[in-house]
Amino acid sequence: MNPKQKIRKATTHISQNEPLIFEKSSAGKKAYKLPPLDVPEVDPAKLLGGHARTDLGEIPEVSEIEIIRHYTRLSTWNYAVDHGMYPLGSCTMKYNPRVNEYVARLMGLAEAHPYQPERVSQGALRILKMLSEQLIEITGMQAITLQPAAGAHGELTGILMVRAYLESRGNPRKKILIPDSAHGTNPATAAMSGYTVENIKSNALGMVDIAALEAQVNHDVAALMLTNPNTLGVFEQEIHKIADILHAKGALLYMDGANMNALVGKVRPGDFGADVLHLNLHKTFSTPHGGGGPGSGPVACKKILEPFLPAPVVSTKKDGTLGFDYNRPKSIGRVRMFYGNFGMHVRALAYIMANGPDGLRQTTEDAVLNANYIRKKLEGVYDLPYRTPTMHEVVFSDRLQMAKGIKTGDIAKRLIDYGFHPYTVSFPLVVHGALMIEPTESESKAELDLFIDAMKAIAEEAEQNPELVAEAPHNTRISRLDEVSAARKPVLRWRPQTEAVAK
Amino acid sequence: MRYLPKSQSDREVMLREIGASSIDDLFAAIPAEYRLKGDLKIPRQYAESEIVEFFRERAANSAQGYATFLGAGAYSHYRPVVIDSLISRGEFFTAYTPYQPEISQGTLQSIFEFQTMICELTGMDVANASMYDGSTGAAEALMMAARITGRSKGAVAKTVHPEYREVITTYARYQGMPITTFGYGKKGRVDLDMLDLAIDEETAGVLIQSPNFFGTIEDVAALADIVHSKGALLIVSIAEAVSLGIVRPPAEADIVSLEAQSFGVPLGFGGPYCGVLATRDKFVRQMPGRLVGEARDRHGNRGFVLTLSTREQHIRREKATSNICTNQALVALMCSIFMSVYGREGLQGLATQNLAKAHYAVEQFKQAGAAVLFEGAPRFNEFVIQTKNDPYTINDKLLDQRIIGGFPLKKFYPELENAALWCCTETTAKASIDAAAKEVAL
């Protein structure tokens, strides 16, 4: 069969070329009009003296229609959740509800200044309080901060709280234990918090090796950072035992909540022994990824860690109004100015309200159902290195395809031709040549079937026509880019042609 | 549930295909004693109309439509309509980090353009794709200086935003980085003698802000001479990005940490905003955060990729420059669109209007009898006044007229009794300034 006939989800079509915005610029074009000044004009040279600036270099000069076309054309070169399935493992690329966007832009919220008096900020404060309470209930924790700006920032906050807690008991300790399957942010966070990192190995089931853990935990260990379900999509079945081992030696259990989409409404980390965890509102709670941010990384914790939360926290005053409590003598301090990514808090609350308890549970069930459906349909077509039951994501390897020299990265690129965004490539590191697939709840059975068919077709191509896969993608605007040269001689900004030639 | 694209029969078919008798089979890995038996105690499912109504009520319980004189790290500028119109394209806001360049060129090219614009504005060689915000960016810049110089200490001006300094304290505390602070003089600028005393042979980076927290423009060149003579790096934090339209960029700095919120980002009760670091070419490998670079495909076409990622956590893990992963990509896009709208001339015109409004307000407040502090050094769109009455009392009266007065400074600067930081932007009406001047006088 002609390979193109197998590609059912996508067809190539004309897309517009577009230069850099600087290459469209010419002096005197403009996209703005300032209103007339209602106060006397000033002479900047006189007011600023030697500090006055007279030229803004290569900042572009373009008209409004050119701006609209420029960014619209660029946008058409992106794949997005709005186009279809985005099966990036551990990234939870779910639908971003439009009502979230609408309510976050309501004037009274979007134009609220962070320092406006509390008595005219009651609406915003109420949103912070409600979201806090609902996330505490969802996680089974007892206190929370919404201040961290992203997941890794939440990790830093949580580990600093652990450190401050242990310090208050006389010894901050030295090490953080991290499984070999963990995200890179975990060890990087531990290092930023002044800890050394000790890796712990997974057992044959892809779970923490309890015996090994028991041997490793001593009074130098501050905490274990554990993602649950882990990056293999496997729920750590002996989680409470893990917590007990740590607690017996005075260490804490930090849970990376990156994979909370497998748990919400079904089980609560606070109930199974986690002491502190961060959430990614841009994963589990539907705030958009925005091409790489903004995120939001609230940190929820048990009572023992509450005094160490970043300041300020939202509190109810004597008169019943809400305000910020800055008097937190044991706090680790601020991790960000103001109160965090409030716009994301609004969206997450809207998402929780749209779901309710039944919707959140159904969401989790559908996410796990989708992943298991893919697993069942692709098992055998792709190698499944861990046969342990999986939750919301499944990890295959490229072992079968490597017989013909086809790697996970090649399969991923070929998937682009089939109209899908690739899965997460070569992660987790514990699986050689990993294909990490997280469909989320947002995919219909029809979309999943298209994906499964595409993956099967690619496996066949890898067998019969490996070059086709090795050189993919074929239907994109550009083919694979030379990333090695790009890193060796980095060009990180545009410069005008003449200058470049002169250099 | 309206976001879930499955019928009950779809679910049943899928379960059958998997070989599960019920959905509970798929959760069997979770020990039964931890599985929830009932509903989470959160509100019931809301209809979209109810959600909108709920948030409209919250939004109405706010200072909606008030005139404001607040700045202090968050600035009220006009946001051109095209910004939201463009960032609302699903191709931008529902995309992931551009790890797959063949289908992410839109995001990648826009970041490359952002990096270029930030370089042009700040006078630096290279800028990253963004940081969380100005406060964390400033903290990361100090860590970066320590990596570059191999020294261990930081020095921070007292005229840097107090909340930035609090964040720096948190970040530095556990990295073995002692932080010293140095004070300001009569003109509200860094005191050069105090600066000199604050730096020793272990000082890696010196952080200042310009325009500083009092709105005063620092003499960056003079500060750079002192800092460089001691072998330390100068980091300049800029909280009010619009100032760069009319204020000379800190070309003598080694690292610039910019908060770009002023460029079309809603105040949004404090976030999300857009930090960004810019530096010299020679320091790029110690800079944290994502970077986009130009690349060619095998047909010679120009494209863009994430590059120099050996600095980052997903490759280097505990040896990375930072743990930062997600940044503020969509907010950086807002900033790029804002800069494109105003352009080379418009940014200057816009900044000049800010200058004119603040200058007018200073004159009016002075005439009304308020003392303007820190005279004798140039300022941009913020200034400090001292009044006979407590600024909170003045602000209460203004609030009744739907005006939010300046930011009282006593909380962060106990020595500045009855002083407040006022900000005027192009959106501040003359009538509001005149009304405020009357209350300030009393």
- Partner-chain contact A47 B175, CB within 8 Å: no
Closest chain B residue to A139 measured between Cα atoms?
B40
Q: Is B283 on the interface with A (CB under 8 A)?
A: no
Instruction: Using DSSP, state whether B20 is helix, strand or coil.
Output: coil
Closest chain B residue to A440 measured between Cα atoms?
B4
The contacts of residue A89 (CB under 8 Å, 6+ apart) are A231, A233, A393, A395, A423, A424, A427, A436, A437, A438
Residue B48 domain-assigned? no
Both structure tokens of A44: 């900047």
pTM across the whole model: 0.97
Residue B360: give its domain's CATH number: 3.90.1150.10
Q: What is d(CA A333, CA B215) in angstroms, rounded to the nearest whole number?
A: 25
Contacts of B333 in chain A (CB under 8 A): 71, 290-291
Contacts of B330 in chain A (CB under 8 A): 288, 290-294
What is the DSSP code string of B106-170? HHHHHHHHHHHHHHHHHT-SEE-S-BS-HHHHHHHHHHHHHHHH---EEEEETTS-HHHHHHHHH
Of A16, A51, A126, which to mutate for an interface test with B (greatest number of B Cβ within 10 Å)? A51
Residues 213-252 of chain B whose Cβ lies under 8 A from any Cβ of chain A? 217, 244-249
Residue B28 domain-assigned? no
Q: Is B120 on the interface with A (CB under 8 A)?
A: yes
Question: Measured between CA atoms, how close is B259 to chain A, in angstroms?
Answer: 11
Question: Measured between CA atoms, how close is B188 to chain A, in angstroms?
Answer: 15
Q: What is d(CA B339, CA B358) in angstroms, rounded to the nearest whole number?
A: 22
Residue B247: give its domain's CATH number: 3.40.640.10
Domain of residue B103: give its range: 81-337
Closest chain A residue to B35 measured between Cα atoms?
A267
Domain boundary among B337, B356, B387: B337
Residues 185-204 of chain A whose Cβ lies under 8 A from any Cβ of chain B? 185, 187-194, 196-197
Contacts of A426 in chain B (CB under 8 A): none
Task: Indicate if B145 and B286 belong to the same structural domain.
Answer: yes
Q: Which is it for strands A276-278 and A252-256: parallel, antiparallel or unpaired?
A: parallel
Task: Indicate if B197 and B208 belong to the same structural domain.
Answer: yes
Contacts of B303 in chain A (CB under 8 A): 478, 481
Residue A502, pLDDT > 80, answer: no
The total number of structural domains in chain B stands at: 2
Residue B24 domain-assigned? no
Question: Measured between CA atoms, how close is B442 to chain A, in angstroms?
Answer: 21
Check if the beta carbon of residue B214 is closer than 8 Å to that of residue B72.
no
- Partner-chain contact B5 A103, CB within 8 Å: no
- Partner-chain contact A41 B17, CB within 8 Å: no
pLDDT category at A1 given cuts 50, 70, 90 is: low
Domain boundary among B275, B307, B337: B337
- Partner-chain contact A479 B115, CB within 8 Å: no
Q: What is d(CA A134, CA A284) in angstroms, rounded to the nearest whole number?
A: 14
What is the model's pLDDT at position A503?
Answer: 41
Contacts of A485 in chain B (CB under 8 A): 295-296
Contacts of A467 in chain B (CB under 8 A): none
Residue B350 domain-assigned? yes
Residues 430-469 of chain A whose Cβ lies under 8 A from any Cβ of chain B? 441-445, 447
Residues 50-69 of chain A whose Cβ lies under 8 A from any Cβ of chain B? 50-53, 55-62, 64, 67-68
- Assign residue A183 a region: left if phi > 0, alpha if psi is -120 to 50, beta otherwise? beta
What is the average pLDDT across A495-499?
76
Q: Provide φ and ψ at A460, rounded to 5°.
A: -65, -45
Q: Which of B207, B185, B357, B325 is nearest to A151 (CA)?
A: B325
Mean confidence (pLDDT) of chain A: 96
Closest chain A residue to B45 measured between Cα atoms?
A356
Q: Which of A221, A254, A111 is nearest to B270 (CA)?
A: A111
- Partner-chain contact A292 B407, CB within 8 Å: no
Residue B107 domain-assigned? yes
Task: Indicate if B94 and B213 belong to the same structural domain.
Answer: yes
What is the model's pLDDT at position A498?
Answer: 63
What is the model's pLDDT at position A187?
Answer: 95
Closest chain B residue to A195 measured between Cα atoms?
B174
Q: What is d(CA A153, CA B325) in angstroms, rounded to the nearest whole number?
A: 9
Residue A406, pLDDT > 50, answer: yes
Helix orientation angle between A445-464 and B8-18, rounded to the nearest 10 degrees: 40
Q: Provide φ and ψ at B295, rounded to 5°.
A: -150, 165
What is the model's pLDDT at position A2?
Answer: 61
Q: Is A298 on the interface with B (CB under 8 A)?
A: no
Check if the beta carbon of residue B188 is closer than 8 Å to that of residue B374.
yes
Which domains, and CATH codes, for chain A?
A: 100-352 (3.40.640.10)
Using CB atoms, which residue from A59, A163, A480 is nearest to B174?
A163
The length of chain B is 442
Both structure tokens of B173: 């505390």
Task: Indicate if B360 and B309 belong to the same structural domain.
Answer: no
Task: Indicate if B138 and B240 belong to the same structural domain.
Answer: yes
What is the DSSP code string of A155-187? HHHHHHHHHHHHHHTT---SEEEEETTS-THHH
pLDDT, one tens digit for every residue, chain B (442 residues): 999 999 999 999 999 999 999 999 999 999 999 999 999 999 999 999 999 999 999 999 999 999 999 999 999 999 999 999 999 999 999 999 999 999 999 999 999 999 999 999 999 999 999 999 999 999 999 999 999 999 999 999 999 999 999 999 999 998 889 999 999 999 999 999 999 999 999 999 999 999 999 999 999 999 999 999 999 999 999 999 999 999 999 999 999 999 999 999 999 999 999 999 999 999 999 999 999 999 999 999 999 999 999 888 888 888 888 888 889 999 999 999 999 999 999 999 999 999 999 999 999 999 999 999 999 999 999 999 999 999 999 999 999 999 999 999 999 999 999 999 999 999 999 999 999 999 998 6
Residue A3, pLDDT > 90, answer: no
Cis amide linkage into residue B211, ω under 30° from 0? yes
Using CB atoms, which residue from B270, B337, B346 is nearest to A338?
B270
Q: For chains A and B, what is the number of CB pairs under 8 angstroms? A: 680
Task: Indicate if B297 and B380 belong to the same structural domain.
Answer: no
Contacts of A445 in chain B (CB under 8 A): 6, 10, 13-14
Residue B29 domain-assigned? no
What is the DSSP code string of A236-287? -TTHHHHHHHHHHTT-EEEEEGGGGGGTTTTB-TTTTT-SEEE--TTTTT--
What is the average pLDDT across A288-296?
96
Instruction: Using DSSP, state whether A46 is helix, strand or coil.
Output: helix
Any idea which residue has 């919120």 for tokens? Answer: B261
Both structure tokens of B269: 């009760």
Q: What is d(CA B78, CA B62) in angstroms, rounded to the nearest whole number?
A: 19
Q: Which of A477, A449, A474 is nearest to A84 (CA)?
A: A449
- Is the ipTM beyond the 0.90 threshold? yes
Question: Measured between CA atoms, how close is A206 to chain B, in angstroms?
Answer: 13
Q: What is d(CA B159, CA B190) in angstroms, rounded to the nearest whole number?
A: 7
Check if the beta carbon of residue A240 is closer than 8 Å to that of residue A100.
no
The contacts of residue B302 (CB under 8 Å, 6+ apart) are B294, B295, B296
- Partner-chain contact A59 B347, CB within 8 Å: yes
Task: Indicate if B94 and B161 belong to the same structural domain.
Answer: yes
Please work out, in degrees rounded to the nearest 5, the angle formed at the alpha carbon of residue B378 by the alpha carbons of B377 and B379.
Answer: 120
Residue B61 domain-assigned? no
Q: What is d(CA B80, CA A438) in angstroms, rounded to the nearest whole number?
A: 38
Task: Indicate if B196 and B270 belong to the same structural domain.
Answer: yes
- Partner-chain contact B45 A356, CB within 8 Å: yes
Both structure tokens of B142: 């100090």
Contacts of A164 in chain B (CB under 8 A): none
Beta-strand runs (E) in B228-328? 233-238, 255-259, 275-279, 292-296, 302-306
Q: Is B183 on the interface with A (CB under 8 A)?
A: no
pLDDT category at A500 given cuts 50, 70, 90 is: very low
Instruction: Using DSSP, state whether B371 is helix, strand or coil.
Output: strand
What is the model's pLDDT at position B314?
Answer: 86
What is the model's pLDDT at position A164?
Answer: 97
What is the model's pLDDT at position A501?
Answer: 46
What is the average pLDDT across A30-59?
97
Q: What is d(CA B163, CA B133) in angstroms, rounded to the nearest whole number?
A: 12
- Partner-chain contact A354 B248, CB within 8 Å: no
Helix orientation angle between A151-168 and A185-192, rounded to the nearest 10 degrees: 40
Q: What is d(CA A225, CA A159) in angstroms, rounded to the nearest whole number?
A: 9
Q: Is B37 on the interface with A (CB under 8 A)?
A: no
Radius of gyration of chain B (CA): 25
Q: Provide φ and ψ at B375, rounded to 5°.
A: -75, 160
What is the model's pLDDT at position A108?
Answer: 96
Check if the beta carbon of residue A454 is closer than 8 Å to that of residue A5.
no
Using CB atoms, which residue from A81, A155, A444 is nearest to B323?
A155
Residue B43 domain-assigned? no
Domain boundary among B337, B355, B372: B337
Task: Indicate if B209 and B91 belong to the same structural domain.
Answer: yes
Task: Indicate if B431 and B329 belong to the same structural domain.
Answer: no
Task: Indicate if B204 and B319 belong to the same structural domain.
Answer: yes
Question: Measured between CA atoms, how close is B200 to chain A, in angstroms?
Answer: 24
Using CB atoms, which residue from B48, B106, B127 is nearest to A74?
B106
Residue A312 is given by DSSP the state P
What is the average pLDDT across A260-265?
98
Question: Measured between CA atoms, how close is B120 to chain A, in angstroms?
Answer: 6
pLDDT in tens, A130-151: 999 999 999 999 999 999 999 9
Task: Indicate if B112 and B251 belong to the same structural domain.
Answer: yes
